[in-house]
Structure 1
Amino acid sequence: MNHDHYDDAYLSGILTSVRTIAVVGASANASRPSHGVLGYLTRCGYETYPIHPGLAGQALFGRQVYARLADVPVPIDMVDVFRNSDAIPALAEEVLQLAPLPKVVWLQLGIRNDAAAASLEAAGIDVVMNRCPAIERPRLLGA
């Protein structure tokens, strides 16, 4: 996969096929991008699962916050990540322990780790890096 350019059909295919999205690094702080993106995805009708160890058990946008991906009680279609690039290898390992595996790992703007992406793709997981679904969805789907 060329992570320097994504075909619009690839991105829109992801955004129209996923239903459950875990947002790693979700924040209760309304000024944080992870807070706004979580709210947007929830309003768009995705079944969202905020992930943040310090907020576990609380609710954001009416959705229970979980400490780790493994705590989410349903299969996750997409993992949307708000963590720095250095944290991605450990997160990739956590993702690869899930059963079933998610279809997609989406790394937010400014986040890229090619080695971790390669390990996820080797397991059959689609990867998007340095993009935001809250930007791509309205651009591609008009909503």
Structure 2
Amino acid sequence: MKRLLLTLAATATLAVSLPAAAQFQKSEDAIKYRQGAFNLIAAHFGRVAAMASGRAPFDAKAAAENAALASTLASLPFGAFGEGTDKGLPNRAKADIWKDAAKFKAAGDKMVAEMGKLDAAAKTGSLDAIKAAVGGVGGSCKGCHDDFRAERYSN
């Protein structure tokens, strides 16, 4: 029942968020949206990663729930990187996001795909499968951060 409620909540969030993402009135709104989405993804992925690394006790049900949420949320921030959303609030987005949009899109697509693999692995309940999938997600996140995320916030 809890899993069904989480799925419904995530689906409702997605249904409401996608139209909003396409309609940002100000760059500040887009920046807040994508930062919030990345924070949620990091929180849910972090719970699974902590289990995979042994920093938290393994709970197959919690891992599956958090992986499902992270996977559902994974595509949300990318709609908030439209033209002109590089300024307005402090953020860590590098100009390369807009200069090489195809490479950025590919990096985002890879992260979404890796999150899907994590979701599938977590559904098996196998800690070994989750560990392997966590590595794939971590690698995709690192690759994108290396290319598209500044070390410091802009002014």
TM-score, length basis structure 2: 0.24
Structure with higher Rg: it is 2
> Normalising to structure 1: TM-score of the pair?
0.25
Structure number with higher helix proportion:
2
Greater relative contact order, per chain length (Cα 8 Å cut-off, separation 6+)? 2
